[in-house]
Structure 1
């Protein structure tokens, strides 16, 4: 880290060059502990234990860093990973990866002034790609066919007269990674990422909400190539028949106006993605050709995706004897947010047990199984509502994918 003292920086470099050198890593952990950086000391001690499970010095140092009595010798060789960070675990609950930079207007008057800094924070998705989305191959294949392939081959599109106009709508139950997928698309395109929700746009003063919506797209044009991600589209673009006497009707009109110009020269390099849990509440005009006319259903994670999510949320926690394959099987139907909760609940069980007994222990399979059995799939209420839509409001085959899934899972 840039702010590390020189000695700690040197030790970090040495440890990176010789990761299996336990004494060297423990020396680094000791210095971190003396500098009141207990979380980092726990991480280094846990990695040392991974290389030397029975090392008494490592176990004692880890216990000191965690503010607990020394760890008792293990009955069998554990496989601890790294220290765990409760704040990070709390932040991870939600859609697979929540937006790190919420778009927030900085000008109260809502006026567009290109000489000023952009009024909306634009995120660089960095190296995130669709390959980083665990499992969900069908979603990725459809995303590539419906959206990415044409954008990667503009000359072929021109040859065949294929328009690049229009956007993409992701829908499905909450907590299944729609935001992360949208960010991965931005990474695939090498584009900036601008995430917008109704709270970012709505303003109490007449006319300001519409100006804010316009400024979103003006910012995207200045930052092109840029993916504009409209989160909770059912709030930003609710059916105007239900908003006749509210200011949201004008916001929807403004959004329609911005989308209509998405293929103009001024909008080159601006790509629009949107997400919603309730597409049947979105104004029909938003889904006409040239707007958000392509739709992809994002469902609870499949087996490979669940494995990737569980690995992600367990990677920085001290675990032992975990049968990941068994855990993947019994968590079928859980969303990404549910799986994050399972890992946190298991860590909480181990922590409370360590406090109660006075002996720090690792997170085991028993903790994870108990947490999984206590977790109710959060997507079930969504499927209960979606079932009625699939049965009675599937006009033009709009929800055929949903019907297929419900029949396969015997929910229809």
Structure 2
């Protein structure tokens, strides 16, 4: 709590003015005596401290020197250990680089497992090095290409998947970093929520998830994850629903603000202000691309089209004059924006995968502060319902 300094001085000034002349004189003498006592006390303590230091400076210097020597020793030991670790890591890295720089024989026949080598952060197949730290969309593309190569060599699709999954699982058992990546991919992209510690099972699910990307045409996929949508794609992949909700609002604001007519009064509004006019000028392509990402990573649980389906089923339309408060309340109840007959607070928005269908996104429709109950701008929802495919 901040203390109003000006108010304190003002009150003090008023108090002094209320005193009689005799009381003011007594108060002044008392203040002078108090200040003198404080001054003499500080002076006396300072003198004693200086006398003590002068009388025992040798002991004080010895203690200081000993403490400094200990600190220097500890720092030196720490630097020595750090240098040793760095040197070991450098040697390990050099060993991997040397292995990678050695000439490799390319086999076109025989067991495919003999032609696959996974080192550290990379998967190398026929000289094609794949970094496991890159975006999963790229990993998925490479896995699909590998499956195609194996099929061309006579493998069935299932056998090809098994070969690749076996190699991934084998390396995961040997290298913690590969194992960590493998389980992260499984958690982020697999539709199977069953927990398991079996590397082979997890690798199989990852390969299956990678092949599922082929069901989306490369053109549509590029449209969705490039440009404005890259960060949203990453957030939704990581199941960071709250951040993705805010990013959705940000994307729509940025794109729509550019599309607004130059004489539009909405251009002068505060940043991140939303109104139905913003959704009206947003292209259907952008609106549908954002919706695709929400549908994809929530397994059809969240997205504008999910909200549209619920809204229409309850009797809602895209005309404000047609939609009654009763429909709005029913919609809020079903998607979890209302509980026990009242709208929830912002802090009660359920940013979990278990939230009711249609619960997200919500931020771009909010017309209230973070400390208030959710006040939904249903005009925005109505425009979305009228424009989403």
The two structures have a TM-score, normalised by structure 2, of 0.26
Q: Which has the larger radius of gyration?
A: 2
The two structures have a TM-score, normalised by structure 1, of 0.25
Tell me which of the two structures has the higher relative contact order, counting C-alpha pairs closer than 8 angstroms and 6 or more residues apart.
Answer: 1
- Richer in helix (by share): 2
